[in-house]
Amino acid sequence: MFSIVRNLLVLFLVVADSGAPFALPGTPEPNPQGAPSTASQPKPGNRVTSHDSVVVSAKLTPEEVEEGRLNDVYQEAYNIERSHDCDKAIEKYQKVVIPMAEGSKFPVPRSKFLFLAYRGIGDCYLGRKRFADAEQMFQRLFEYLPAWPGTDDSDYPINYRSVGIARMHQEHWNEAEEALQNSVSLFDKQIERAAKSDSEFMRNEHSNNLRMSQDSALNLLAVVYCREQRSGEALKLLERAYEQATKFHAPPKVVRQIVDTGLSISESAGEVRAMAVWFGRSAITK
């Protein structure tokens, strides 16, 4: 049983080809583990360039000027992180981005870039297998999240999932279960709100992105249940994830991930009927 669970962890917990940020297979960047957030990366906004006039510059508020300065140094660190040089990126975050953000007079830019910097460090720690340190960084994000990007943003449940992943790596199964259950529950609420929105984008594309990210949380929670000798509950979660993923047209990699987990867990539990179901699904998702 344990070797199978270990293989499932290897299946889920990978470093994205694009660089240091930690990502699950089939999930879009820049989030470390999930659906595209509406606020995950700093947006360029109205920035002054060498050819801009003094009039344009005068339109920027002091807060916008400050955010621009912070964005410049953050992007430098983030680009280093994406180039696979996590040691240098962590140093840049710790020595430049974080001190500048902490010195900000404006609460939103301060929270925004502290959130992004500590998340970048946490992602790097995951890549370096410093799982306890990664968990500590992700826990710290909850301090800044209410101000930016906000608890209505998908980064809120995504961060709980990040905590769960770090705890899974440490084999802290009960604690990982708690974090992942929080993630699933928060996604439920966000999906319900998005589905009732007046915005077509929120009802369709954003709702489906949230569902896809929740599918990954359900998948991970199923692995935890398997490790806790709760294979029946794990397979029920995977049925839920599979039904949602196929109904709302999740990318093939996401569906395949669910199917691979269902097949592995049903085999490990000796559930013959479930094995047959997941084997049939495996044949049509290759």
What pLDDT, on the 0 to 100 scale, is given for residue 284? Answer: 87
* pLDDT of 33 strictly over 70: no
What pLDDT, on the 0 to 100 scale, is given for residue 6? Answer: 54
What pLDDT, on the 0 to 100 scale, is given for residue 147? Answer: 97
Nearest CA-CA partner of 137 in 157, 155, 115, 154: 115
pTM of the model: 0.84
What pLDDT, on the 0 to 100 scale, is given for residue 57? Answer: 53
* pLDDT of 28 strictly over 70: no
Q: Which residues contact 64 (CB under 8 A, 6 or more apart)?
A: 45, 46
Residue 26's pLDDT band, with cuts at 50, 70 and 90, is: very low
What pLDDT, on the 0 to 100 scale, is given for residue 17? Answer: 31
Q: Report in angstroms the alpha-carbon separations of 72 from 47, 54, 68, 88, 263.
A: 10, 20, 6, 17, 46
What pLDDT, on the 0 to 100 scale, is given for residue 45? Answer: 38
How many angstroms separate the CA atoms of 91 and 58, rounded?
34
197-206 pLDDT, tens digit each: 999 999 999 9
Provide the 10 A C-beta neighbour count for residue 43: 7
- State what percent of residues in the chain have pLDDT above 90: 78
Nearest CA-CA partner of 268 in 234, 241, 237, 244: 234
The stretch 27-38 carries a mean pLDDT of 39
Residue 285's pLDDT band, with cuts at 50, 70 and 90, is: confident
What pLDDT, on the 0 to 100 scale, is given for residue 174? Answer: 98
3-class secondary-structure state, position 23: strand
What pLDDT, on the 0 to 100 scale, is given for residue 63? Answer: 97
The answer to whether 273 and 261 have CB atoms below 8 angstroms apart is no
* pLDDT of 7 strictly over 60: no
Residue 173's pLDDT band, with cuts at 50, 70 and 90, is: very high
* pLDDT of 153 strictly over 80: yes
Higher pLDDT, 32 or 79: 79
Longest dimension (CA), the chain: 73
The stretch 138-163 carries a mean pLDDT of 98
211-239 pLDDT, tens digit each: 999 999 999 999 999 999 999 999 999 99
What pLDDT, on the 0 to 100 scale, is given for residue 205? Answer: 96
* pLDDT of 78 strictly over 80: yes
